[in-house]
């Protein structure tokens, strides 16, 4: 076996060991912002629970039903070269997943409300509702959904926001 082949096998063997041996995650704000330099390359790897955003609005003193946010689009070949809206929708879902991840490491409810991800999701919901007229308040929740299963708000909710006013900054 040549040295090159041995080096290749050794390198991929090292990666293989990484699947079994888990190191302690390192957390730092700069590492979060610069995580592009430390890619994990684990795509669609496990069927864990998916954080999903639900929201409702208050109109004429009556709450609407909870509506879920799931990025959906129609398939088009031209989107191979220009796909901003689908990529934005996927990014919005990633934001919801980041909030769920932040909540897992948040020890008190009050701290959750100050999270960057929480405030961005709050704004996301406000913008999603923006097109609808006459609503005066809104509320959202984050649920952990199992793939293929119906959501159960009682069991699956990890965050229920306070009732939020229609105008930003009033709460």
Q: How far is the CB of 143 from another protein (least distance, A)?
A: 14
Our CB check for another protein shows the closer of 25 and 148 to be 148
Angle CA(59)–CA(162)–CA(51) in degrees, nearest 5?
A: 100
Q: How far is the CB of 21 from another protein (least distance, A)?
A: 13
Our CB check for another protein shows the closer of 33 and 61 to be 33
Pairing of strands 67-69, 164-165: unpaired
Q: How far is the CB of 131 from another protein (least distance, A)?
A: 14
Contact 156, 100 (CB under 8 A): no
Our CB check for another protein shows the closer of 26 and 61 to be 26
Q: Which of 45, 39, 53, 18 is nearest to 143 (CA)?
A: 53
Q: How many CA atoms lie within 13 A of 126 on its CB side?
A: 16
**Contact residues for another protein (CB under 8 A)?**
4-5, 8-9, 11-12, 15-16, 18-19, 29-30, 32-37, 39-47, 50, 70-75, 79-84, 86-92, 94-95, 98, 116, 119-120, 123-124, 127, 147-148
In Å, the largest CA–CA distance within the chain is 77
Our CB check for another protein shows the closer of 11 and 153 to be 11
> Which of helix, strand or coil describes residue 4?
helix
Tokens of 47: 């069927």
Q: How far is the CB of 39 from another protein (least distance, A)?
A: 4
């Amino acid at each position: 076996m040549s040295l090159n082949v041995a080096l290749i096998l050794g390198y991929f063997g090292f990666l293989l060991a990484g699947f079994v041996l888990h190191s302690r995650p390192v957390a730092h704000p700069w590492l979060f912002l610069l995580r592009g330099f430390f890619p994990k390359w684990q795509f669609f790897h496990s069927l864990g629970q998916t954080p999903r955003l639900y929201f409702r609005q208050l109109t004429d003193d009556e709450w609407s039903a909870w509506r879920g946010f799931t990025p959906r689009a129609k398939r088009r070949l031209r989107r191979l070269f220009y796909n901003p809206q689908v990529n934005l929708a996927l990014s919005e879902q990633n934001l919801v997943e980041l909030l769920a991840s932040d909540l897992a490491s948040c020890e008190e409810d009050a701290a959750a409300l100050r999270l960057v991800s929480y405030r961005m999701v709050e704004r996301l919901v406000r913008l999603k509702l923006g097109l609808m007229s006459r609503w005066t308040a809104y509320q959202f929740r984050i649920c952990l959904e199992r793939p293929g299963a119906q959501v159960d708000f009682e069991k699956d909710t990890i965050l229920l926001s306070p009732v939020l006013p229609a105008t930003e900054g009033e709460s």
